[in-house]
Structure 1
Amino acid sequence: MVVATQNPVEYEGTYPLPEAQLDRFLLKLVLPLPERGEEIEVLRRHAADFNPRDLAAAGLRPVASAADLAAARAEVAQVQVGPEVLGYVVDLVRATRTSPSLSLGVSPRGATALLATARAWAWLSGRGYVTPDDVKALAHPTLRHRVQLRAEAELEGVTAETVLAGVLAAVPVPR
């Protein structure tokens, strides 16, 4: 598992990853800045000699073993995906490839990632099958880093989020 952060203010000395490398990240989660009270709590902890590398002292405990994770992965692999949902995933990613706002749409690797995350979401929701709503729920975090905006679209204020929202609204949902 790789967790990376990006500071959108200062890019000096850092360079964007090539598309082929970005495509290998399963999800891109966007986290907001903490609320004022939460930020005060962060400072309070650091003033009290909090060590962020000491997970046990922070109260973090394992909730699953390696065996638990392997068993969960095996169960997720058993989650059924109907042909209509497979078609929906393909239609969504293909729609990104023809979007006038994008210079790069979602690759087949992105389609397989969306399918994998939707299966996991269905399993976490207690179901043994994937619904179009599972696909929609995971579309943004799974696809937002796999598309590349055209320069003109960026200048107009278009974002990957708005393009994906438009694709999700335009592609017919199977019943």
Structure 2
Amino acid sequence: MSRDNSKLSRRSFATAGIATLAMTAACGNGVGNSNDVKIDARVDATLNQMYSTYPGTRDLAQKAAGMLIIPLVTEAGFIFGGAYGRGALRINGVTVDFYSSVKGNAGLQIGAQQYAHVLFFMTDAALARFRRSSGWTAGADLEYVVRDEGNSLTADTNTLTAPVIAAIFGQAGLRVGATLEGSKYTRIIP
């Protein structure tokens, strides 16, 4: 096999691996083909769980210009990994749009996990940027208030002034930790 064909085969294998894992995650998260009523019901249940487990998030929700709630994200990986979930953008407690969350990654990893997450858009400008984008990507500047590594709300004055705040909770599975960095959010029609 020539050197060029070897590179092509590795690239094809890597691409196929990521696509397979992303499709597996999408099929296994229970949200895959749901319509808007089912997504909204899952969003309501997720918010109730978050508010009862982390009561301080109620205050964040009241101050937020809008919230993106992804009730269930399934993430799986074996060297290459992917994650998928669906949810709703709510403004003033009303669903205005539906979004998918997709993430791909590579590196030393093995396992699978599921979790819920909520993005709090704390300013009108942050919410407007999110809604105008054709595919908004979470970056390293995202502030976290809840990670399921501890059972407390950890918000400080720096966190509360951030334009976008994330809460990740309800983790179950065999992978350690969850981050939203690199997740891409795209508006969908359920």
TM-score for both structures, normalised by structure 1: 0.29
More strand by share: 2
- Point out the structure with max Rg over C-alpha: 1
Select the structure that is richer in helix.
Answer: 1
